[in-house]
Amino acid sequence: MLFIGNAWDLLSAFTLEKVGFKAIGTTSWGIANSLGYADGELIDFEKHLVIIKTITENVNISVSADIEAGYSEDIDMIVYHASNKR
């Protein structure tokens, strides 16, 4: 069984890693809420990606990313949908 804790910023990711999690997931709600946004694709897509990238570059465990507005197998389509949700 894999039990994944949710991180919303680098400090929460470090905390989960330090207490022994073998993997963590990011939480779109947590990231949005920590920046004062409601959940539901209101956070800037690039800002969301920067937070996830910061986490993945600084922890030594696996990270699963919950990305709002990122539904496609084609990266150009993901970026298009993310930038046109506003």
| pTM to 2 decimal places | 0.76
> What is the extent of the structural domain holding 63?
5-83
- Per-residue pLDDT of 9-60, as tens digits, reads 999 999 999 999 999 999 888 998 998 988 777 787 888 889 999 999 999 9
Query: How far is 23 from 4, CA to CA, in rounded Å?
Result: 6
Would you say 4 and 16 are in contact if contact means Cβ atoms under 8 Å apart?
no
pLDDT for 86: 46
pLDDT for 79: 73
